Structure 1
Amino acid sequence: MTFTINAEISQFQGKLYKLSHESTSTKTPMDVNVFVPPSSNSKIPVLVYLSGLTCTPNNATEKSFLQYFATKYGFAVVFPDTSPRGAKIEGEDDSWDFGTGAGFYVDATTDPWSKNYNMYSYVHDELPKALAKEFLQLDFENISITGHSMGGFGALSGFLKNPGKYRSVSAFAPISNPSTCQWGEKNFTNYLGNNKEDWYKYDPTHLIADYKHENQPKILIHQGSKDGFYYKDHQLQPEIFVKAAEESGYKGGVDLRVAEGYDHSYFFISSFIEDHAKHHAKYLGLIE
C-alpha cells in the first residue's frame, strides 16, 4: 500500500483516515487526511481543502466541520499538508510565514528550495493520482477545490492553472494578489526568484486575466470584515481579484461576501462552511 494508515476514525457516519506516505515531489514523508462519507454509489466526488500558513491536515479536520456537510451532500474531502516537513534546509524553520508550514502551493525553482518545496505538483498531480489507486470509490475526475488564506490562494491558483480539472472553486480569506503583499513577496522571492513574471504564473489576479477555458463556474469567496490581514495588513486584497475577474470577462463572476464582524480564524470558516459545501455540491452534480 502506498499510504500508511495512522488512524481510522468514525465520524458523521463516514470514515476519517489519517495517512502518511513518501512523496516523490517533496522527497519527504507527507501527511494527508481523507474523509470518506457513507455512500452506496460506485463513485464519490471529491473536494480538496487547502489549509493556510502554519497548518497541518488536522486543523481543518478538527475545526471546520466540513466533514459533517460532506456526509450531508455526499462528497469526500482530501486535506493535504501545507509544506514538506523535515527537509533539513537551513532557514526553513526560522519564521512562521515561510518554509515549514508555508509551502505556498508553488513548485520552487531556486536553490535550495527546488529539491523539496514542490507543493503545486504534489497537490495537483502526485497526491490525487496516488489516492485514486488506494481509494477506488473516490472519483478524481469529478473534483473541486477550496481553501483558506494561503490555501485560498492555492485553490484559486490551482483552479485557474488547470483549466477544466476542477468543477468549482471557492476560498476563505484568500491571498488574492500575492505579488503585491508581504507574504507573497517573501515566499515568491525565496521560492521563485526575483523575476516577477515567474510570480504572475501563480498569482490568481494575473491568471484570471488570461483564463479562456469554457469551464467558468461562479467563484465563491468569504472574507471577514474584522480580519486584521484584510483591513489592516492588506495581505488578502480580494477586491483586486474581483476587479481582475470583471475586466477579464470571466463568465461565472466572483461572489465576494464580506462577513461583518468575523476574523481570520476557524470560527469564521466554520460559520460559513455550509455555503461552500453547497456551492461545490452543486457543481459536483450532487444537488440542483
Structure 2
Amino acid sequence: METKPTEISSSKMFGGYNKRFKHFSTTLGCSMNFHIYFPPSSSPSYKFPVLYWLSGLTCTDENFIAKSGAQRAASAEGVALIAPDTSPRGLNVEGEADSWDFGVGAGFYLNATQEKWKNWRMYDYVVKELPKLLSENFPQLETSRASIFGHSMGGHGALTIYLKNLDKYKSVSAFAPICNPVNCPWGQKAFTNYLGSNKADWEEYDATSLVSKNKNVSATILIDQGQDDKFLPDQLFPNKFEEACRSANVALLLRFQPGYDHSYFFIATFIDDHIHHHAQALRL
C-alpha cells in the first residue's frame, strides 16, 4: 500500500505555506492526515527545524492550523510546524465514536495494549512513524532538530513524549495540559480502556509520574494555564506537576493567566511566547 504522503491542500500565509497531506499509516492501519506549515525561505538548501503540535480532545489536524495564529511567529523564527491528527479514523471499531473523550479524536498519545483498541498507537505514530516519514519525504525539514508542544490532551502528549525521549526533542511546552491523568476522569476512562486495569502501566503515560524519573531534563518546561478554565479543578492538575518538578529539580515556568479559558482564544493569545521558547532551544 502507498505510504508516501500526498498533498491535498495548500494555502499561503505569512510568506510560507500551510500544506495538508494524507498517507497510509502502517502504525495505525488507516489513512491519516497531517499539516505542515513551511516558513518562507531565501535559500533552497536551508533546512527548517520542526515543532510538533499535539491537539486536544475532539480535534483533528486542522484546528491548530486554522485557529492558533502560530504561523506569524513560526514564519519570523523560521520554524516548520507539524500538526498530526489526534487518533486513527475510519476503522469502525465498535464504540469508537460513542463519546467525545474516548476513541475517535481521543488517542491520548499512547500505545494501547488492549486488543480491541490495538490500532490506537498514537505514541509510536508521533514519535517514530511521522518523523521518519517527514525525514524521507521533505528534504527542507531537519527532523533531527525538533521540539514539541500541545493543548489539553495534546499537552499531556507533549509532556509525556518529551520526558520519555529527551534525546529526540530540544524543548517542550503546553497549554492547559492534562498533567496527572491517572487521577482525573478523562485519564482514568482512557487508560482503563486502552491500557487495562494495571495502574503501573498508566504511570508510563502520566507527566507527573514521569518527571520524577527524569533527572536529565535541562530545558525549562513552559506551561500556560487559563485561570477561568472550567476543566482546571477536576481534570488538569498543573499544581501536582509543579510539585513533582520541584522535587525532581526540573525547571518549570508555570503561568496562570487570569480570565482565560480552555479555548483557542487563549492559545492564540500566548502562542508567540511558545514559538519563541522553542525557536530559542532549536537554535542552540
Where on the TM-score scale, by shorter chain, does this alignment land: which range? over 0.9
Q: Which amino acid is the alignment partner of residue 248 of structure 1?
A: A
Figure out how many residues of one structure are paired with residues of the other and give that number.
280
Note the 1:55-134 alignment, pairs <5 A. 55-114=59-118, 116-134=119-137
**Structure 2 residue ranges without an equivalent (≥5):** none
Cα distance in 1, alignment partners of residues 147 and 166 from structure 2: 12
2:235 matched to which residue of 1? 235
1:272 matched to which residue of 2? 270
Q: Select between 144-153 and 215-224 the one with higher mean Cα deviation.
A: 215-224
Cα distance in 1, alignment partners of residues 150 and 135 from structure 2: 21
Note the 1:1-288 alignment, pairs <5 A. 2-39=4-41, 40=43, 42-114=46-118, 116-213=119-216, 215-231=217-233, 234-250=234-250, 253-285=251-283
Q: What percentage of aligned pairs have identical amino acids?
A: 51
Secondary structure class of the residue paired with 1:132: helix
Cα distance in 2, alignment partners of residues 128 and 11 from structure 1: 24
Q: Which amino acid is the alignment partner of residue 18 of structure 1?
A: R
Cα distance in 1, alignment partners of residues 248 and 73 from structure 2: 33
Alpha-carbon displacement from aligned partner over 1:224-280 (angstroms, at most 9, x marks no partner) = 00000003xx20001100100110122xx1100000000000000000001101100
Return the TM-score normalized by structure 1: 0.95
Alpha-carbon displacement from aligned partner over 1:66-100 (angstroms, at most 9, x marks no partner) = 11111011100000000000111100000000000
Secondary structure class of the residue paired with 1:91: coil
Q: Which amino acid is the alignment partner of residue 140 of structure 1?
A: T
CA RMSD after TM alignment: 1.0
**Structure 1 residue ranges without an equivalent (≥5):** none
Cα distance in 2, alignment partners of residues 17 and 131 from structure 1: 13
Return the TM-score normalized by structure 2: 0.97
CA offset at residue 159 of structure 1? 0.1
Aligned residues of 2:215 and 2:248 also touching (Cα < 8 A) = no
CA offset at residue 101 of structure 1? 0.2
